Amino acid sequence: MLAMEARRMGYRIHTYSPEHNSPTGQIADFEYAAPYNDAAAVRSFAKGVDALTFEFENVPSLVAETAEAEGVPVRPSGSILHAAQNRQREKSMLTRAGLPVTPFRAITDIKQLAEAVHEIGFPAILKTAAFGYDGKGQTRIERDTGLESAWNSLGRQPCVLEAFVNFERELSMVAARGQDGAFATYPLVENRHVNHILDVTIAPADVEPSVAQEAERLACKLCEFLDLTGVLCIEYFLVSEPGMGGNSHDPELQSTGRLLINEIAPRPHNSGHWTIEGAVTSQFEQQLRTVSGLAPGSTEQLRPAVMLNLLGDLWQSGEPNWPALLAFSNLKLHLYGKHEPRPGRKMGHLTVTAGTTAEALEMGLQARTALQRG
Ligand code: AMP
């Protein structure tokens, strides 16, 4: 989606990933297919570009370091990438920045886990520190007897233990910051998950103005703290009352505000895809503008919008019913060009814009149901 915006604006695109014929490779001018740890290939790639950015944060930070050593601007910087790809580092960074995070403890062995769970309280969620997304690498712990199996099930690796948050809703905000510090945010949105995977985004979220203002204030604080150039998304838990952050017995672990940060992503985010049709500047154009040293564009929302993900599960009984979907005239279909529709894999999404978010949601859900065969 970044490459498509870039093409529209006359840029040329080089892409690097371990795969041939990747979604970006299908429309890029040059596709480099090599392992991320192939320093010579990364150097040769870096020599051909004016600026480098990434589409997910699990690109090894060696890539950013190698490109930075070649004098290529990496935006957001390699140090931000490094912090965001590990939950321990990310949460410690957020705490240092003075931002409210889900109560957590860093865990490196089972003894620490046993101690931490008594501070955090039950239920708690154990998450691997590295390479976690969409609920992968996490497990819920209900009682003492579950510690050993939880620790083993995640492969006995560095983890974070989090308090289980009884949130009222999940929200997120995409922000952009230019090289000169110009800052812009999109409206706060509501995210609904199924099986820990984002299912639907509703833009804007129906929340009190004070919640949206607080989300924006926290996003600005984080972008300033990181000295970010680029686009960043913050995922929040909205808790119903101050101090409802979790079931912790430790008052220090309780937050005083109504928003807790679950995680951040220093890149465009699935919950910002609605901006392609729903805002003056899409989050992808925004990434392109900021990483190229240009000013952020207007983040004004044009119409209420809803985004619905299309997962690989929809292909279970063969090709989904595209004609039935496209009989709904007021929606936009996006398919990413991924080859294998595995269950749980994000293959594309729909965006519906309408007079209200309720109307858009109703139509989007009907349209997505029409895709199912049999
Ligand atoms: P994550 O990969 O950490 O974003 O987690 C995926 C989803 O799991 C979140 O969007 C929440 O729906 C749920 N989740 C994660 N952490 C917690 C928590 N500490 N308390 C309650 N639900 C959580």
Cis-peptide into 60, omega within 30 deg: no
User: What pLDDT does residue 135 have?
Assistant: 65
Q: What are the φ and ψ backbone dihedral angles of 97, each rounded to 5 degrees?
A: -75, -5
Number of neighbours of residue 40 by Cβ within 10 angstroms: 9
Q: Kindly give the distance from the C-alpha atom of residue 185 to the centroid of ligand 1, in angstroms, as a whole number.
A: 23
Q: Kindly give the distance from the C-alpha atom of residue 13 to the centroid of ligand 1, in angstroms, as a whole number.
A: 34
Q: What single-letter DSSP state applies at residue 175?
A: E
User: What pLDDT does residue 241 have?
Assistant: 67
Which atom of ligand 1 is nearest the CA belonging to 163?
19
Q: How far is CA 222 from CA 95, 106, 255, 299, in A?
A: 11, 21, 17, 19
User: What pLDDT does residue 158 have?
Assistant: 95
- DSSP conformation letters of 277-306: HHBSS-HHHHHHHHHTTPPP----B-S-EE
End-to-end CA distance of the chain: 32
Number of neighbours of residue 50 by Cβ within 10 angstroms: 12
User: What pLDDT does residue 373 have?
Assistant: 83
Any atom of ligand 1 within 6 Å of the Cβ of 112:
no
Any atom of ligand 1 within 6 Å of the Cβ of 133:
yes
Reading the block at residue 353, the tokens are 């814009």
Mutating to test ligand 1, I would choose from 57, 126, 262 the residue with most ligand atoms within 8 A of its C-beta, which is 262
Helices and strands (DSSP H and E) totals, the chain: 12, 15
Cα–Cα distance, 372 to 110 (Å, whole number): 45
Which atom of ligand 1 is nearest the CA belonging to 102?
19
pLDDT per residue as tens, the chain (374 positions): 999 999 999 999 999 999 999 999 999 999 999 999 999 999 999 999 999 999 988 899 889 999 999 999 999 999 999 999 999 999 999 999 999 999 999 999 999 999 999 999 999 999 999 976 666 799 999 998 889 999 999 999 999 999 999 999 999 999 999 999 999 999 999 999 999 999 999 999 999 999 999 999 999 999 999 999 999 999 999 998 655 444 444 444 444 569 999 999 999 999 999 999 999 999 999 999 999 999 999 999 999 999 999 999 999 999 999 999 999 999 999 999 999 999 999 999 999 999 999 999 999 999 999 999 86
User: What pLDDT does residue 257 have?
Assistant: 62
Q: Kindly give the distance from the C-alpha atom of residue 302 to the centroid of ligand 1, in angstroms, as a whole number.
A: 30
Any atom of ligand 1 within 6 Å of the Cβ of 132:
yes
